[in-house]
Structure 1
């Protein structure tokens, strides 16, 4: 009977969780509050304080944290190391300023405004300075804003907050009374953390790609999925054992695999698990809401919540403005990061165990953090209405009448000329661009251009990428073009791709991606310009055309050699200016019988030394 009851519980618990999510999330999304609030509300309803369908939400929370881990892994897959390095100013500069400013601001509000003890103000202020990576990134993804300036600043701050886990745990140790932690112990812990980071980075750089190539040769799809999960969980476990965030380990593993040929396969394998576990995470956070604490200490909870929201909004806003963000962008980032973070739960528990704060203070801090999480979507919706509108620059994404057989992504200088040939042939073209000024200017000349970002999958699908006979990528800049090409090849593998290349290196990169056609953006115009220059010098037009074709053929040969041997190959195919003849070197008519030797002070000295030595013998 006991075994039968256990088996029944094993089935009913997931069933209750799934049913709660299926009922609540669509309702709250229909109300415009987002899926996160729906999950949190469902968690409160089925938690121990209301329906009491689950007695230990903490156990579910530990499992559900894997959703955040997998989410950070997927984010890492989208960030190549070079792009991550380009964000260093926002990560280390803006992120550090935000943590310090928000921690001091919230701590001061608690100490001076609510009269909390200084230890509580320091620790709770530090914990509330952090924000929820899970909630913020989920909202950015739902809103399609992960690649916007505001989205990238919010992500950079969240990444720095993950890195701040180590010093914040050290802060708890320093503040706690009668601490037994020694300086040597702290240095040992810091050394273990650095070692774990090095292990994850080295393994990701040198071991993972060969491993996945070996597994791919086995042609067992389920093994690739198992390997992907093993990498994510292994990196997370390594970081956790060293005292760092599990999410940080998964993120580093993702970054190390961002340039791998298996990147899209890994993302496809991990994505289903991430979605389910993220929902479970929000459900479990809702279940941890202690309504008895809220009712018993509602004044402190309400005061702490107001202090948190005001201090976080003001400090984040000022930090973003300090680092060059506009007013609207600063308001958006401030609204996204206004809540406390899930790491605060760990920090408060650690502080309570060490005696730095009381259990009651920790419970109030947890309640404030959870309520701030629940309020975040409402605050973001309110700020969306209040922040400066882009005015007439705002254009709605409307693809309801798309029907072109060719999809043209990018309508700049290059794309406009390409479209002229297609339209002259009577070809129906769907043109998308995200430059609102360009779209409005083109509309005055009779062009119908759809507003949309070609690096977003939903935009490409809405623009008809699945059914287009051919896709032309004419975007400005190598990075943007590569993102569009990678996305199309991953999601629409049968698409015929004609791509505008930035330079020679980009051409070789696109050839390696097996696009159907590519051309450097200035190549043919430079050849035409050179031909006109020769004619201007008096050369016959036909002879000038022949020379241009010779250069074109040499370039094709050189590209083929570079494809096989790297960028330095094929230099012999280039035409270079003839070198000047070397000055004639005088040579004797008859070779001397003994080789000559330059006689210098040094050689004279050596000769004298040898003579003295031989005389002594």
Structure 2
């Protein structure tokens, strides 16, 4: 048991260091954690100490996956159903274009520029077609945009984009078996009854039994997540849907949401973001940096060329358009999931996997960094939220824990 405690201490030391750096640079802590994870893994590897992180151990992978699941749920819970109904055309068009443009662009680049076979090329296209719910939601929390109709629209478009990527992965590569239909049927039943069962539990027990609503939500998230994995899908897919279904009740209890964010951001998500950084193989990138740079450049170029004019139909202010476009150009959660799926099923080689994952992770950092430095549409925030957002960036989300 002692080694586990020492390993957790090492991860949390990296998380604290990331928070200090994020506070100094006034950047999103999620991005800093990714970079710190990459540097830490490379530095320990030079001295033959990479095993100290135990990044591929079952319990670290579980904590990282738990962080992704709960953060995805929180992102879904931020979606206002009324805002989404009003923005249905916007989030659908932006999300679908944000998926299709990089899918075709990066798949073509992998096949025709680097000679990858069809499976590897399409897998690359799917991995780089995604956005990052985790990173975008973390940025929304940093800035305060999660409370605005603008931020809710970005999160909605992100959901459509990622759902399209997951469906494409399933149609092209995942086996369609009876397990798929069992998963869909049970998910539909659970989502259909979830608002009523949650409301009943909250009304009768929420203020008499210790954290029963949190336990109930976690039961649903991990139960559906396990069922998704059993069916060949991914645990984060139903988490977003659960968050959307419970968005109305979550909005009525800001204190409960704040406590859940404290648990998630304070303990779980550092394992997810730091581990994402450790997945990059720097030797493979050094050996062929042009492949990584070309994939990253193709993803960002295809996202921007596809999305900027489309977003212009809904957002006339240039700062808003660029900020929206750059955030939609990020990638992390579903991109790394798709990459890992391809590696596990022999669709890509370890070298191809390193290039794809590196491009995915770099796309979480580069566009968000540019957006945060030059294009934040602060005029969309009320005066109080602007001050609060600035303080959150200075404190590195310290107000959440």
How far apart are residue 45 of structure 1 and its match? 3.6
Aligned counterparts, 1:597-608, within 5 A: none
Change (3 A) 1:299 1:253: closer
Give a deviation string over 1:195-235, Cα, whole Å, max 9, x none.
Answer: 13312212313322222333236x23244543343343334
Change (3 A) 1:382 1:80: closer
Unaligned runs of 5+ in 1: 1-6, 175-180, 398-433, 435-450, 463-617
* Aligned equivalent of 1:361: 352
Give a deviation string over 1:134-155, Cα, whole Å, max 9, x none.
Answer: 1111112101222445533321
8 Å CA contact 1:28, 1:38 repeated in 2 = yes
Rounded to whole Å, the distance in 2 between the matches of 1:228 and 1:265 is: 16
* Aligned equivalent of 2:289: 298
Aligned counterparts, 1:97-136, within 5 A: 97-136=97-136
* Aligned equivalent of 1:270: 260
How far apart are residue 251 of structure 1 and its match? 2.9
Q: Secondary structure at the match of 1:131?
A: coil
Q: Secondary structure at the match of 1:33?
A: coil
* Aligned equivalent of 1:220: 209
Rounded to whole Å, the distance in 2 between the matches of 1:166 and 1:153 is: 20
> Which of 222, 225, 228 is residue 233 of structure 1 equivalent to?
222
* Residue 241 (structure 2) pairs with residue 252 (structure 1): yes
* Aligned equivalent of 1:499: none
TM-score normalized by the length of structure 2: 0.82
* Aligned equivalent of 2:396: none
TM-score normalized by the length of structure 1: 0.56
Give a deviation string over 1:149-200, Cα, whole Å, max 9, x none.
Answer: 55333212211133224422234329xxxxxx5xxxx264553343133122
8 Å CA contact 1:49, 1:290 repeated in 2 = no
Highest relative contact order (Cα 8 Å, sep 6+), 1 or 2? Answer: 2
Judging by fraction of residues, say which structure has more helix.
Answer: 2
Rounded to whole Å, the distance in 2 between the matches of 1:187 and 1:90 is: 34
Bigger Rg, which one: 1
How far apart are residue 75 of structure 1 and its match? 3.2
Give a deviation string over 1:75-109, Cα, whole Å, max 9, x none.
Answer: 33343544443332233332112211221122233
> Which of 6, 11, 15 is residue 17 of structure 1 equivalent to?
11
* Aligned equivalent of 1:562: none
How far apart are residue 380 of structure 1 and its match? 1.9
Rounded to whole Å, the distance in 2 between the matches of 1:126 and 1:94 is: 17
* Aligned equivalent of 2:398: none
8 Å CA contact 2:124, 2:339 repeated in 1 = yes
* Residue 181 (structure 2) pairs with residue 191 (structure 1): yes
Give a deviation string over 1:415-436, Cα, whole Å, max 9, x none.
Answer: xxxxxxxxxxxxxxxxxxx4xx
* Aligned equivalent of 1:49: 45
Q: Secondary structure at the match of 2:145?
A: coil
8 Å CA contact 2:83, 2:152 repeated in 1 = no
Give a deviation string over 1:362-410, Cα, whole Å, max 9, x none.
Answer: 222112212222334332245428xxx89xxx69x9xxxxxxxxxxxxx
Tell me the number of residue pairs that the alignment of Structure 1 and Structure 2 aligns.
383
